[in-house]
Structure 1
Amino acid sequence: MKTLLFFLLPTLFLTAEISDARLTTLYRSLNPESISELFAFYHLYPNTNEGLQALSDAWELMHKHRTEKNLLKENLVLPAMEIDSIISLVNKQPFETDIELSEEQLEMIEMISDHLSNKKLKGHSIWKKEELFALPPEEIDLSHALLLYQFEDDPLKVRQYEATLDLIALQILAHLPIGATDLEKIDAISHFIFYEKRFRFPPHSIWVKDIDTYTFLPSVLDSHLGVCLGVSILYLSIAERLDLPLEIITPPGHIYIRYRKGEETLNIETTARGIHVPDRMYLGINTRKLQERNKKEVIGLAFINQASVAWQKEDHQTTVELYEKALPFLPNDPLLKMFLGYNYLFVGKEKEGKKLLDQIKDHPFDFAVARDTTPEDYLKGKVDAEGIKTIFLHVDETRTSILEKQEKLQKVLKKFPNFRDGILQLAISYLQLGRGEEAFETLNRYHALDPNSPVVEYYLSIVAMNRFHYSQAWKHLEAAEILTKERNHSPQCLKQLRHALRCLHPDPEDKL
């Protein structure tokens, strides 16, 4: 609307009454597929033929994909506030004051959007969050469920944000032909989110402290900023309304969206304006496969993101409460059990913590090559709860923060010299400081304790190569290849390392 008003206002100042020819020119310059532009034009010129035509055009667009269309009666004048609300909700700028809709306005928006696909889901009509647990994942209305948790005592707030999403969906549908393909829908959603409304990943200095803020759907809508989970939830919420089937994929510490139909696969990287990134780019030395999540699990992931902020602030009681909220949505997730188990230890619930850690200690996560060693080390007395805390200390990439964490790790390892993840984190701190010799010694210390970590063998190979210890580099590379192959994984990074090493030194296994 602001762009349109900027274009139209000079004409209003130049002459009290705009000429018919000029008005016709302005009408023809409108984007014929923009509901908000057409409504804005009508709002400015409601008593002209062109204004009434713009109203009729906007009404047609809003009903474009309906089987049964509500007719726009002659001489109908919509209340000015309803026009303003539609324009403002779709065109809301980052951090603008919230627009409060009346009951009448909400009912009007709900009426014109009742054909959207998410309205058919059983989860859309639920107003008690406890009832969500009994629903199958495919019946969950993702945006409704998340808003219900955030505003459970304020249903009007839930409806307010749902109205925003409904109008966004109608605006996107206005650009799509009848019977649009899934790929056309993806292009339209991506264009609206990333180019028309310019949703972006927040600056590192902001999101690292408030990742939960940029996960919540209302915050993402209000600020046009969101971390991977936040923008993915927005994308999925719109896709639900457009009957667009998407998969939810979670590499460790990340989430993106995937479209799959037969042999056709398209990844949608929401932190990079929706571009396609090949699956192999998300795999790593210890990540052998990508987890697919359902909508129910995404609700749990939102709580996990929120918990990570509380953990960083060392508010372990709140962290426990948030992980416990996530548990009904992710009852068999080993990573959640591990994190909740650690935080039980941190708040003094040793029995509960040990019980969860004992469930996962002998089993590698399905997506991982190697199992996590800290649960076993704790249960065998090789580290205590305070020692576990140190490996999760945040580092902001400044030398001071790295040194602070390094000092605390050294104190822990003085008391618990066989704490494997502590040794690995210490080696990483040396690498971050560019101290290759100490890193090499520390990694070899880990290798002497446990030669079954593909990550450690990979690091050892790289550091050995950089220090011209080529025979050792080959030895550790081959060890990493064997360990990953045992879990049916052939990571790209090992192939690249093999190529780089072969350029410097012949493979000892090669025969002349």
Structure 2
Amino acid sequence: MVITMFYKIFYLFLFFLPLQGKAPAPQENLKLAALYNSLDPTSFSQLFAFYDLYPDTEQGGLALEKVRSLFHLQTEAKRISLPTLDMQAILSLVNRQPHEIKEPLTVEQLTLIDHLAGHLYNRKLKGYYCRTPEEILALAPEELDLARALLLYQFDKESFLEIRRYEAMIDMMTLQVMARLSPHATALEKIDAINRLIFHEMRFRFPPHSLHINDIDLYTFLPSVLDDRLGVCLGVSILYLSIAQRLNLPLEIITPPGHIYVRYHEGNTLVNIETTARGIHIPTETYLGINTHALQTRTIKEVVGFAFMNQASVLSERKQYEETVALYEKAQLFLPDDPLLKMLLGMHYILVDRTKEGKKLFKEIKGKPFPDAIYPENLPEDYLNGYVTQEALAILFMHVDETRESILKKQHALQKALKTCPKFRGGLLQLAITYLQLGRSKEGLEILQKYHALDPHDPTVNYYLSSLSATRLQYKKAWFFLTQTKTLLSTKNHFPKALRDLEYELRHSYPESLHSSTI
């Protein structure tokens, strides 16, 4: 069981409160010595707390000396004199529980932390010394300090002290990680130490579905992630990368569709770090889908753009389309050639009656598969062919949560739109999904068959048709659509696990020798 620092410090305070301000009696001295020996010798937060409670005891002096040694473990800087000041606010950067009130750091405390963290690797990056968003844009990706870049965009010029406070929190977290590492620690040892701190001691978690579905932008922003210790995949990955930059730990940034995670890749060593699951390694194949045959590697600079895209998606669901466009345009500064961003921005240009600009972006990506995909997105083509109206387009961004009411609301809107836009493939697919969400596989199958009649070459739809046909015991149809899917994916020599699993089930339920290649 993980014992939080709050309870450890609370125990220290209650059990030894009578010792403060006077020399401990022999029996109490033994208890104090025993408590000192029970501390984690690599946790400067525990050692600081112990010293703060018992500064005039022998053990308190030993704790302070141990803190000094931890700070100097990986730096040859001159010994740092820890001044006499209130350490509680500094301690709270790591010890504070999410429900506790945050103690603002003074300039003196920030200066001390900056001095302690002066040897961290991100201080060598040009991006650490930027003071304006314009300076960030001018930098090459490898020169960017991710935390500074995102904080500069979130806070105005008058709030630089707030930026320093959040950076101080990341610095203290990094120093704690370093305290557990040898001077020549390997990359894998650094990863283990980061995982221990973030996920097991500070207990950062993915927010409950009911929260993140409404406030994905909130759980992306670095300040909110640090304050609440809750974050979606992008939010916690940003924190992880910010610490990695300080440790000179080279990590790759990987973006499967709708997701992001980080990984370490050196030679034959590849470790995926799933930040929504306490940093565990998940096999790379798990992230591949029917239409996803490869995973894109991104740069630090592109991550800044993703933060704006997450924020834009929330505003789009709220029908704040002008603000959504502004955020997508800001994201485009960091992702100028990203086809997904071009599609999303093009859609919202149309929603704000900037149709010419929307069509221009659609023409750039029409018929071209995304870098990680086998089959291209069909929305640009459908719109340019006149199959989609502005009203139908807006329905794609309607908010749906786990409630039946929200699903039915979107379903009815899609049904109405498809009466005037019967060839709108994206609308048909989303309508089918609403039926499947309601457990109505028969209706979902029928809608997907309409889609297939319009476009028989979409591998994802062929896979869904095979799976649903098998569920309804229509095995000949299931085999037909499975064969179609395999043929479509063979162009990239792609045979993902989901498809292999489906074929395995079919072979057991209805052997291939019995099926026909036609239906």
The TM-score normalised by the length of structure 1 is 0.95
Correspondent of 2:370 among 353, 365, 381:
365
CA distance in 1, matches of 2:361, 2:500: 37
CA distance in 2, matches of 1:286, 1:469: 24
* Number of the residue aligned with 2:508: 503
Correspondent of 1:54 among 53, 56, 63:
63
CA distance in 1, matches of 2:386, 2:134: 39
Change (3 A) 1:488 1:389: farther
- Structure 1 residue 374, shift from structure 2 partner: 1.0
* Number of the residue aligned with 1:149: 153
CA distance in 2, matches of 1:322, 1:292: 23
* Number of the residue aligned with 2:278: 273
Output the aligned Cα RMSD.
Answer: 1.8
Partner-residue secondary structure (3-state), 2:79: coil
Partner-residue secondary structure (3-state), 2:265: strand
CA distance in 2, matches of 1:434, 1:167: 49
Correspondent of 1:27 among 18, 29, 36:
36
**1:214-233 to 2 correspondences below 5 Å:** 214-233=219-238
Whether the aligned pair in 1 keeps the contact of 2:80 and 2:116 (CA below 8 Å) is: no
**1:234-273 to 2 correspondences below 5 Å:** 234-273=239-278
CA distance in 1, matches of 2:317, 2:500: 36
**1:447-462 to 2 correspondences below 5 Å:** 447-462=452-467
| Structure 1: segments with no counterpart, 5+ residues | none
CA distance in 2, matches of 1:209, 1:67: 48
CA distance in 2, matches of 1:192, 1:490: 38
Correspondence 1:102 to 2:106: yes
- Matched AA of 1:56: E
Change (3 A) 1:12 1:432: closer
- Structure 1 residue 254, shift from structure 2 partner: 0.7
Partner-residue secondary structure (3-state), 1:486: helix
CA distance in 2, matches of 1:508, 1:425: 35
Q: Deviations over 1:47-73 (max 9, x none)?
A: 23322221111111112110233255x
CA distance in 2, matches of 1:50, 1:10: 15
- Structure 1 residue 26, shift from structure 2 partner: 2.9
**1:205-220 to 2 correspondences below 5 Å:** 205-220=210-225
- Structure 1 residue 392, shift from structure 2 partner: 2.8
* Number of the residue aligned with 1:298: 303
* Number of the residue aligned with 1:129: 133
- Matched AA of 1:368: A
- Matched AA of 2:266: K
Whether the aligned pair in 2 keeps the contact of 1:121 and 1:139 (CA below 8 Å) is: yes
Whether the aligned pair in 2 keeps the contact of 1:96 and 1:222 (CA below 8 Å) is: no
CA distance in 2, matches of 1:510, 1:466: 16
- Structure 1 residue 466, shift from structure 2 partner: 2.3
Correspondence 1:349 to 2:354: yes
Number of aligned positions between the proteins: 506
- Structure 1 residue 397, shift from structure 2 partner: 3.2
- Structure 1 residue 414, shift from structure 2 partner: 0.6
**1:108-507 to 2 correspondences below 5 Å:** 108-153=112-157, 154-507=159-512
CA distance in 2, matches of 1:454, 1:392: 23
- Matched AA of 1:32: P
Q: Deviations over 1:424-443 (max 9, x none)?
A: 22222222223333222222
- Matched AA of 1:42: Y
| Structure 2: segments with no counterpart, 5+ residues | none
Change (3 A) 1:18 1:452: same
- Structure 1 residue 508, shift from structure 2 partner: 4.8
Q: Deviations over 1:448-467 (max 9, x none)?
A: 11111111111111222223
- Structure 1 residue 499, shift from structure 2 partner: 1.3
CA distance in 2, matches of 1:54, 1:44: 11
- Structure 1 residue 345, shift from structure 2 partner: 0.8
CA distance in 1, matches of 2:144, 2:103: 27
CA distance in 1, matches of 2:67, 2:53: 14
Whether the aligned pair in 1 keeps the contact of 2:199 and 2:278 (CA below 8 Å) is: yes
Partner-residue secondary structure (3-state), 1:80: coil
Partner-residue secondary structure (3-state), 1:267: strand
- Structure 1 residue 206, shift from structure 2 partner: 0.8
Partner-residue secondary structure (3-state), 1:248: strand
Q: Deviations over 1:204-246 (max 9, x none)?
A: 1111111111111111110011111111111111111111111
The TM-score normalised by the length of structure 2 is 0.94
* Number of the residue aligned with 2:75: 66
Correspondence 1:18 to 2:27: no
Partner-residue secondary structure (3-state), 2:257: coil
* Number of the residue aligned with 1:38: 47
Identity in percent: 53
CA distance in 1, matches of 2:141, 2:421: 44
Whether the aligned pair in 1 keeps the contact of 2:213 and 2:401 (CA below 8 Å) is: no
CA distance in 2, matches of 1:467, 1:90: 54
Whether the aligned pair in 1 keeps the contact of 2:431 and 2:447 (CA below 8 Å) is: yes
- Matched AA of 1:391: L
- Matched AA of 2:421: F
CA distance in 2, matches of 1:90, 1:391: 42
CA distance in 1, matches of 2:32, 2:321: 63
- Matched AA of 2:24: I
Whether the aligned pair in 2 keeps the contact of 1:38 and 1:57 (CA below 8 Å) is: yes
Pick which of 498-507 and 299-308 moved more: 498-507
Change (3 A) 1:64 1:403: same
Task: Could you list the structure 1 runs, at least 4 aligned residues long, displaced by more than 6 angstroms after superposition.
Answer: none
- Matched AA of 2:220: T
CA distance in 2, matches of 1:404, 1:94: 36
Change (3 A) 1:337 1:22: same
Whether the aligned pair in 2 keeps the contact of 1:94 and 1:224 (CA below 8 Å) is: yes
Change (3 A) 1:489 1:90: same
CA distance in 1, matches of 2:474, 2:298: 43
- Matched AA of 2:69: E
CA distance in 1, matches of 2:492, 2:419: 34
Partner-residue secondary structure (3-state), 2:178: helix
Q: Deviations over 1:397-449 (max 9, x none)?
A: 33322222111111111101111111122222222223333222222211111
